[in-house]
Chains A and B, each alone.
Chain A
Amino acid sequence: MTALLTADWYPYGSNGYFRKVEIYEMAWQKEVNINNVVIVAARFGGPIAVVRDRTKPDKTVMKKMGKPIIAIYSSAGNLISSFVWNSGQLIHLGWSSTEELLCIQENGEVLIYSIFGKYVHAFRMGQEVEDTKVIEARVFDSSVGTGICVLTGAYRLFLTNTIKDPKVRKLAEIPGVISLPDSWAVICEDRQSFVLLFKATEIYYLSENQVIQKTVNSANEEKGSVITDVAVSSCYEHVAMYNSQDQLWIGSSNLRKNYRLYDMDGSGRPKQLVWCGSEAVVGVWDEHIIIIGRNEDSLSYVYDMPVKLIPEIDCVRVISTYNTEIIQPVPKVILETYRLNSTSPGSYLLEASKQFTKKNHRANEYIHLVKKELFSAINQCIEASSHELNTENQKMLIRAAQFGKTFAEGFTSENFVRMCMTLRILNAVRDPKIGIFLTFPQFVHLTLKNLLDRLILRRHYYLAIKAANYMRMSNEDGSMKILEHWAYYKVSQLEADKEQMAHNIANKLGQASGISYVSIAKKSASYGRIKLAVKLLDYEPKPELQVSMLLSLEKYTEALGKAVQSGNTDLINIVIVNMWKKMPLKDFQLEIRKDSVVYALYKKYCREHKKETLLNVYRQEDDNNEIAAYYIKNAFDAENYSMRTTLLENAKEYYKKAKNEINLVLCEEQKKLILKQKELEDKFKREFLDLPLQETIYRLLLMQENKIAEDLRSMFHVPDRKFWWLRIKSLGELNDFNELDKFSKIKKSPIGYEPFIDICLQHKNKFEANKYIGRIKEENKIKYLVKMSYYMEAIRIAEAQCDISALEYIRANCDTASVIEINSAIARLNKSDS
Chain B
Amino acid sequence: MSTHLSKGKLNIGLVQERARKELLDLIDKCEGSKVIVWDDGLSGPFGLIAEYTLLKKRDAGKMYLLRPGKLKTPDIENVIFITRPYLRLMNYIAEIIHSEEVSRQKKKWHLFYVPMKSLLCEEYLKNKGVYGSLTIIDQIQACILFPFDNDLMSMELDKAFMEYYVESDPTCLYYIAQAILMLEDLFGSIKRISGKGNAAVQVMKLLNKLEKGTESNPISKYHSNVQIDQLILIDREVDFLSMLATQLTYEGLIDELYGINNCTVKLPIEKFSQEEDLTESSSDNKQLILNSADEVFSEICDKNFFAIGQSLSRRAKQISQQMDERKDGRTLQEMKQFVAKLPQMLSIKKSLANHMTVAEMIKEVTDSEDFAENLKNEQEIILGLVTDKVHPYIEECMARNVDIVKVLRLICMQSVVNCGLKQKVLEQYKRDIVQTYGFKHLLTLINLEKVGLLKVQQGTRSFAVFRKTLKLISENNNFINPKDIHFVHGIYAPLSVRLAQNFVKPNGIRSINDVITSLPGSLFDHSTSQTTTFIHRIMCDKSLRVGGSLSSQNDSAKVVLVFFIGGCTFAEIAALRYLSQQEDLNVEFVIATTKIMNGNSFIKCLMESPS
Give the interface of A toward B (CB within 8 A).
511-514, 541, 543-544, 547-548, 565-571, 573-574, 577, 596-597, 600-601, 603-604, 607-609, 625, 629, 632-633, 636-637, 661-663, 665-667, 669-670, 673, 690-694, 716, 718-719, 721-722, 725-726, 729, 751
Q: B431 to chain A: which residues have CB within 8 Å?
A: 662, 665-666, 669
Complex CA gap A577/B168 in Å reads 18
Complex CA gap A607/B123 in Å reads 19
Q: Are A597 and B170 in contact (CB under 8 A)?
A: yes
Complex CA gap A577/B126 in Å reads 14
Chain B: minimal CB distance from A627 (Å): 12
Q: Are B436 and A512 in contact (CB under 8 A)?
A: no
Q: Are B610 and A637 in contact (CB under 8 A)?
A: yes
Q: Name the residue among A566, A633, A692 with the largest chain B CB count within 10 angstroms.
A: A692
Interface mask (B109-135 → A, CB under 8 Å = 1, otherwise 0):
000000011111001000000000000
B362 proximal to A (CB < 8 A) = no
Q: Are B87 and A608 in contact (CB under 8 A)?
A: yes
Interface mask (B146-182 → A, CB under 8 Å = 1, otherwise 0):
0000000000000000000001111101100100000
Interface size on B, residues (CB 8 A): 47
B540 proximal to A (CB < 8 A) = no
Q: A569-B170, A574-B119, A693-B435 are in contact. Are A629 and B443 (CB under 8 A)?
A: yes
B75 proximal to A (CB < 8 A) = no
Complex CA gap A566/B205 in Å reads 11
Chain A: CB-nearest residue to B172: A569
Chain A: minimal CB distance from B520 (Å): 17
10 of the cross-chain contacts (CB-CB < 8 Å) are A544-B119, A567-B173, A569-B174, A570-B171, A603-B167, A636-B610, A693-B436, A718-B435, A722-B395, A722-B432
B611 proximal to A (CB < 8 A) = yes
Chain A: minimal CB distance from B361 (Å): 19
Q: Are A721 and B395 in contact (CB under 8 A)?
A: yes
Chain B: minimal CB distance from A680 (Å): 16
B434 proximal to A (CB < 8 A) = yes
Chain B: CB-nearest residue to A608: B87
Complex CA gap A673/B439 in Å reads 10
Question: Count of A-B contacts with CB under 8 A?
Answer: 124
A-contacting 9-mer, from B59-67, B396-404, B480-488: B396-404
Chain B: CB-nearest residue to A717: B431
Complex CA gap A541/B212 in Å reads 9
Chain B: minimal CB distance from A587 (Å): 21
Chain A: CB-nearest residue to B424: A662
Complex CA gap A1/B608 in Å reads 99
B346 proximal to A (CB < 8 A) = no
Q: B174 to chain A: which residues have CB within 8 Å?
A: 567-569
Complex CA gap A692/B433 in Å reads 9
Q: Are A726 and B610 in contact (CB under 8 A)?
A: no
Q: Are B120 and A632 in contact (CB under 8 A)?
A: no
Complex CA gap A544/B122 in Å reads 13
Complex CA gap A543/B437 in Å reads 48
Chain A: minimal CB distance from B368 (Å): 11
Q: B435 to chain A: which residues have CB within 8 Å?
A: 692-694, 716, 718
Within 8 Å by CB of B209, from A567, A571, A625, A662, lies A567
Q: A633-B610, A692-B437 are in contact. Are A567 and B210 (CB under 8 A)?
A: yes
Q: Are A666 and B442 in contact (CB under 8 A)?
A: yes
Complex CA gap A776/B10 in Å reads 59
Complex CA gap A721/B401 in Å reads 14
Chain B: CB-nearest residue to A548: B119
**Apart from A567-B173, A694-B399, 9 more pairs, CB < 8 Å:** A541-B213, A570-B116, A609-B87, A637-B611, A670-B442, A690-B438, A692-B439, A693-B436, A751-B399
Q: Are A633 and B443 in contact (CB under 8 A)?
A: yes
Q: Are B611 and A567 in contact (CB under 8 A)?
A: no
Q: Are B611 and A636 in contact (CB under 8 A)?
A: yes
Q: Are A577 and B123 in contact (CB under 8 A)?
A: yes
Q: B120 to chain A: which residues have CB within 8 Å?
A: 570, 573-574, 577
B70 proximal to A (CB < 8 A) = no
Q: Are B85 and A570 in contact (CB under 8 A)?
A: yes
Within 8 Å by CB of A511, from B118, B119, B216, B399, lies B216
B446 proximal to A (CB < 8 A) = yes
Chain A: CB-nearest residue to B427: A662
Complex CA gap A121/B482 in Å reads 82
Q: Are A662 and B430 in contact (CB under 8 A)?
A: yes
B215 proximal to A (CB < 8 A) = yes
B206 proximal to A (CB < 8 A) = yes
Q: Name the residue among B169, B401, B427, B434 with the largest chain A CB count within 10 angstroms.
A: B434
Q: A514 to chain B: which residues have CB within 8 Å?
A: 216
Chain B: minimal CB distance from A337 (Å): 49
Q: Are B611 and A725 in contact (CB under 8 A)?
A: no
B545 proximal to A (CB < 8 A) = no
Chain B: minimal CB distance from A776 (Å): 15
Chain B: CB-nearest residue to A665: B431
Complex CA gap A588/B122 in Å reads 23
Q: Are B123 and A574 in contact (CB under 8 A)?
A: yes
Q: B436 to chain A: which residues have CB within 8 Å?
A: 692-694
Q: Are A604 and B119 in contact (CB under 8 A)?
A: no
Q: Are B85 and A666 in contact (CB under 8 A)?
A: no
B440 proximal to A (CB < 8 A) = yes
Q: Are A570 and B118 in contact (CB under 8 A)?
A: yes
Q: Are B399 and A721 in contact (CB under 8 A)?
A: yes
Cβ-closest 7 pairs across A and B: A725-B399, A512-B216, A600-B168, A636-B610, A692-B438, A693-B435, A574-B119
Chain A: minimal CB distance from B210 (Å): 7
Interface mask (B410-435 → A, CB under 8 Å = 1, otherwise 0):
00000000000000001100111011
